[in-house]
């Protein structure tokens, strides 16, 4: 389906090792776009189908890694043909012997290779209706031995932010809650809602195809897109910042993923579903990115549930006061809700060192 999609958009699609029958159909496809075989217009999700490709890497000393017949060749040579770091696509878009498309090597690849990574896979597909090659780098590293520092990351909704604490010798060395500017996000959200409503009103009287109607729709969409990008960029920025922090202290990264609990908390506050979605957007991506970066840089990490509603001193249930202050009616412990998991992390560390 992915190949059909490419062919439909006027790319000549040929992939090595593909069964002859499929090649035949693809080849003939363009002549029979209205035929029964591939006669329907590709749906949007076709564009999400990506074709995996084998990769051959040629290094500056002439050594090679990967499949010699691979359609994607990455050359990290600086003196041959006066060419530097290029990607060659062989016979993928056109099935002629020695047909080659040359692409400049993205900086991203050079950086990952310098870090000891290896591009083992490539995917070809469509991005914004253009042919796009995505490279996947892998790296195998032994995680370092933790120095005794622990970096605890508590993943909440954006409402209270992602809380992190650096713990050493039973002490909370530093603590911070990080979130995007919520006022900006909520302003964008309400602007999008308002424009959406106006557009809806025009639609009911059949005027949504007018210039004004189209503009409202475009503006609402642009604002929702902006919300998504702001939270996505924040998620990527924070994941990178926290992994660098862990590396600096040779800390064990402890991830407390309480996104589901946070979602419930927001539901209990009776916030509109749209706002909850906004406050939860890209948090999964944050956790995934944090884990990926930790693996890439060899940061030892573990997922651990750290309670925020149980007393870290006597394990009695905590009561929540206004302003998200948690108190223990049994022993008098009192702390802001987002600090409770940090006290739990310290408590666990102390119990561990007593056992050994
Ligand atoms: Zn207590």
Tens digits of per-residue pLDDT, 276-289? 998 998 999 999 99
What confidence tens digit (pLDDT) does each residue in 119-163 have? 888 888 877 777 788 888 888 888 999 999 999 999 989 988 999
Cα 330 to middle of ligand 1, angstroms: 5
Cα 321 to middle of ligand 1, angstroms: 15
Cα 17 to middle of ligand 1, angstroms: 66
- pLDDT for the residue numbered 83: 61
What confidence tens digit (pLDDT) does each residue in 157-206 have? 998 899 999 999 999 999 999 999 999 999 999 999 999 999 999 999 98
- pLDDT for the residue numbered 44: 53
Structure-block tokens of residue 93: 């878009």
- pLDDT for the residue numbered 36: 33
Q: Euclidean distance between the first and final Cα of the chain, in Å?
A: 58
Cα 8 to middle of ligand 1, angstroms: 66
Q: DSSP code of 29?
A: H
- pLDDT for the residue numbered 35: 36
- 3-7 mean pLDDT: 73
Cα 329 to middle of ligand 1, angstroms: 7
Cα 324 to middle of ligand 1, angstroms: 17
Cα 352 to middle of ligand 1, angstroms: 20
CA distance 135 to 137: 6
What confidence tens digit (pLDDT) does each residue in 219-239 have? 999 999 999 999 999 999 999
CA distance 256 to 237: 18
- Output the average pLDDT for the chain: 85
- pLDDT for the residue numbered 154: 94
Q: Looking at per-residue confidence, does 19 or 259 come out higher?
A: 259
Rg (CA), the chain: 27
Cα 353 to middle of ligand 1, angstroms: 22
- 321-346 mean pLDDT: 94
Cα 318 to middle of ligand 1, angstroms: 7
pTM of the predicted protein model: 0.78
Q: How far is CA 29 from CA 10, 37, 81, 105, in A?
A: 10, 8, 38, 32
- CA quadruple 29, 33, 34, 40: dihedral sign: positive
Task: Please report where in the chains the tokens 């729709």 appear, as a residue.
Answer: 217
335: Cα within 13 Å, side-chain hemisphere: 17
Cα 309 to middle of ligand 1, angstroms: 11
Structure-block tokens of residue 156: 């909440």
Cα 350 to middle of ligand 1, angstroms: 17
Cα 331 to middle of ligand 1, angstroms: 4
- pLDDT for the residue numbered 102: 87
Other Cβ atoms closer than 10 A to 116:
12
- pLDDT for the residue numbered 81: 58
Task: Please report where in the chains the tokens 């209205």 appear, as a residue.
Answer: 34
Cα 333 to middle of ligand 1, angstroms: 5
CA distance 99 to 151: 51
- 240-260 mean pLDDT: 94
Cα 327 to middle of ligand 1, angstroms: 8
- CA quadruple 258, 264, 268, 274: dihedral sign: positive
- pLDDT for the residue numbered 34: 36
Cα 83 to middle of ligand 1, angstroms: 68
């Amino acid at each position: 389906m992915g190949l059909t999609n490419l062919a439909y958009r006027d790319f000549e699609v040929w992939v090595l090792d593909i069964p002859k029958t499929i090649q035949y159909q693809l080849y003939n496809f363009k002549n029979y776009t209205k035929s029964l075989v591939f006669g329907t217009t590709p749906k949007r999700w076709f564009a999400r189908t990506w074709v995996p490709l084998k990769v051959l890497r040629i290094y500056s000393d002439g050594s090679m890694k990967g499949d010699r017949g691979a359609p994607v060749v990455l050359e990290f040579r600086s003196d041959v043909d006066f060419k530097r770091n290029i990607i060659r696509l062989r016979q993928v878009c056109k099935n002629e012997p020695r047909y080659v498309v040359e692409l400049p090597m993205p900086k991203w690849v050079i950086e990952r290779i310098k870090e000891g990574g290896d591009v083992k896979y490539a995917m070809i597909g469509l991005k914004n209706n253009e042919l796009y090659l995505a490279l996947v780098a892998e790296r195998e590293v032994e995680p370092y031995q933790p120095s005794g520092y622990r970096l605890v990351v508590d993943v909440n909704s954006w409402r209270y932010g992602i809380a992190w604490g650096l713990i050493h010798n039973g002490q909370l060395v530093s603590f911070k809650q990080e979130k995007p500017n919520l006022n900006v996000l909520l302003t964008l959200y309400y602007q999008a809602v308002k424009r959406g409503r106006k557009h809806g009103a025009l639609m009911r009287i059949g005027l949504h195809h007018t210039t004004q109607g189209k503009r409202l729709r475009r503006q609402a969409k642009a604002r929702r897109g902006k919300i998504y990008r702001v939270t996505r960029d924040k998620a990527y920025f924070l994941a990178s910042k926290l992994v660098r922090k862990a590396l600096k202290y040779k800390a064990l990264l402890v991830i407390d993923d309480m996104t589901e609990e946070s979602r419930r908390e927001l539901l209990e506050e009776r916030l509109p579903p749209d706002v909850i979605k906004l406050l939860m957007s890209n948090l999964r991506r944050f956790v995934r990115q944090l884990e990926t970066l930790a693996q890439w840089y060899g940061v030892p990490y573990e997922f651990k549930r750290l309670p925020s509603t149980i007393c870290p001193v006597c394990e009695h249930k905590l009561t929540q006061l206004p302003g998200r202050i948690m108190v223990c009616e049994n022993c008098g412990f009192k702390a802001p809700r987002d600090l409770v998991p940090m006290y739990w992390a310290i408590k666990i560390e102390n119990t561990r060192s007593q056992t050994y």
